Structure 1
Amino acid sequence: MTHTRYWVAGCAISLLCAGTLSMASAADPALEGAVRMAVSPQAQTWLADPAVVAAVKSQNARNAGIAQSKIDEMDNRWKAAAKAGGVNPAFDEVSSNAVSKQLKQVVAGSGGKIVEILLMDDHGLNVGQTAGTSDFWQGDEPKWQKVFTGNADLYMTDPEKDDKTGAMLTEASVPVLDPAGKQKIGVAMIVLDTAKLAR
């Protein structure tokens, strides 16, 4: 769950652009198309950046064979620290690493179109992030499940108003691929300001 709360009303599956789009609602085809264009590999070249790919692959290797009990333990520690609002060494480590700094530059250079990026590994654990999150493990959430274990090449939520800025935001999750073998190695969730997308 990101710093901005999102509510997903339901889920519909449709085929689009030779891929599978999973989203909360297909009521606005123009928005759907604009989101797909905004998060495409052509628009978000950092998805294939060697440093981003290496960061995901490195964490995948470190966590190979990790037990679910260990994931739960790490996630629970993160959640407890986030809820208490105090020191969270695990969050600090992720948010200040090299790939997080790179992603923050992507957000800063997007002209307000991208509000947040969360990069996840093949277990749904945070690899890099540009904002706070209430949890470390996203593997039990649709933004990771629909893309990594499901068949969706894009998962997006219905737009929801941000309490702080008033902007209408949508989460768009896409696979992170290893350019060499094209296999799926992780998921990137990109929060977009829908008012700044070309329709």
Structure 2
Amino acid sequence: MTQARFWIAGCAISLLCAGTISMASAADPALEGSVRKAVSPQAQTWLTDPAVVGAVKSQNAKHAGIAQSKIDEMDDQWKAAAKAGGANPAFDAVSSNAVSKQLKQVVAGSNGRIVEILLMDDHGLNVGQTAGTSDFWQGDEPKWQKVFTGNADLYMTDPEKDDKSGAMLTEASVPLLDPAGQQKIGVAMIVLDTAKLGQ
């Protein structure tokens, strides 16, 4: 092997190792512990608030027995409107409802620790949200599937740098339980600024 080939091979190994270290740091147990603490019902009391629980249960009842074709139709309409950048009555209805207003107050009062909240029902449809989303149905995504159908008590993404703020953000999804019987009724995704978890 020539000296140039040794150098190329060394660079490739270094890049591979750097990627491995990066992936390992994203799964840092200390970070997971901080996230778990930050999204616990003790820290996020709104998770058991009757108004939040009631909003999810109401939508679950409204969509009981809904066909997947109808979900796809509503999702396609939402996505088309979001892509076009024009009016989106479905998004407006969700983002301006009472539970969304309540969640926006939670974000505003978090001192920057919480960047966004998305509340989903037992089909993965948006119930309340504090920011825009490109789709109405989250039931085909890990943030809903891992928690609602996969029975994980926490699903979190690797921290990623936000293009606008420069903050390192992670999405943490947790089950939403009905306090009366502790049955799972939906999922809450909470986007956290990892640098502010200890504050």
Global fold match (TM > 0.5): yes
Q: CA–CA distance in 2 between the matches of 1:26 and 1:169?
A: 11
How far apart in 1 are the matches of 2:104 and 2:112? 12
> What secondary structure, in the 3-state scheme, does the structure 1 residue paired with 2:154 have?
strand
CA distance in 2, matches of 1:138, 1:92: 17
Deviation at 1:28, TM superposition (A): 0.7
Q: In the alignment, what sits opposite 1:146?
A: 146
- Which structure's relative contact order is higher, taking Cα pairs within 8 Å and 6+ residues apart? 1
| Pairs within 5 Å for 1:111-130 | 111-130=111-130
Q: What is the alpha-carbon distance in structure 2 between the residues aligned to residue 91 and residue 108 of structure 1?
A: 20
1:90 is aligned to 90
Query: What are the superposed Cα offsets for residues 118-160 of structure 1, whole Å, 9 maximum, x if unpaired?
Result: 0000000000000000000000000000000012000000000
Write the letter of the residue equivalent to 2:67: A
Give the Cα separation in 1 of the matches to 2:143 and 2:194. Answer: 18
* Percent of aligned pairs with the same amino acid: 90
Q: Residue deviations 1:61-120, cap 9 Å, x none?
A: 000000000000000000000000010000000000000000000000000000000000
Change over 3 Å in CA distance of 1:97–1:50 after alignment to 2: same
Larger Rg: 2
Asked if structure 1 preserves the Cα contact closer than 8 Å seen for 2:27 and 2:158, the reply is: no
Q: Which runs of 5+ in 2 are unaligned?
A: 1-23
**Conserved in 2, the CA contact under 8 Å of 1:25 and 1:158?**
no
When the two structures are superposed, what TM-score results if normalisation uses the length of structure 1? Answer: 0.87
In 2: Cα distance, 1:25 partner to 1:55 partner: 37
Deviation, structure 1 residue 27: 3.0
**C-alpha contact (below 8 Å) 1:146/1:155 kept by paired residues:** yes
The structure whose residues are more often helix, as a share, is 2
Q: TM-score, length-normalised on structure 2? A: 0.87
> Following the alignment from structure 1 to structure 2, what is the Cα–Cα distance between the partners of residues 96 and 26?
35
Distance 2:182 2:81 in 1: 37
Count residues with an aligned counterpart. 177
Once residues 140 and 31 of structure 1 are traced to their aligned partners in structure 2, the CA distance between those partners, rounded to angstroms, is 26
Q: 1:156 aligns to what?
A: 156
- Runs of at least 4 residues of structure 1 off by over 2 A? 24-27
Aligned pairs for 1:37-52 (under 5 A) are: 37-52=37-52
Q: What RMSD in Å do the two structures reach over aligned CA positions?
A: 1.5
Show the counterpart of 2:105.
Answer: 105
Report the residue type matching 1:87 in the other structure: A
Structure 1 segment 5-84 matched on structure 2, within 5 A: 27-84=27-84
Partner of 1:167: 167
Distance in 2 (alpha carbons) for counterparts of 1:69 and 1:111: 41
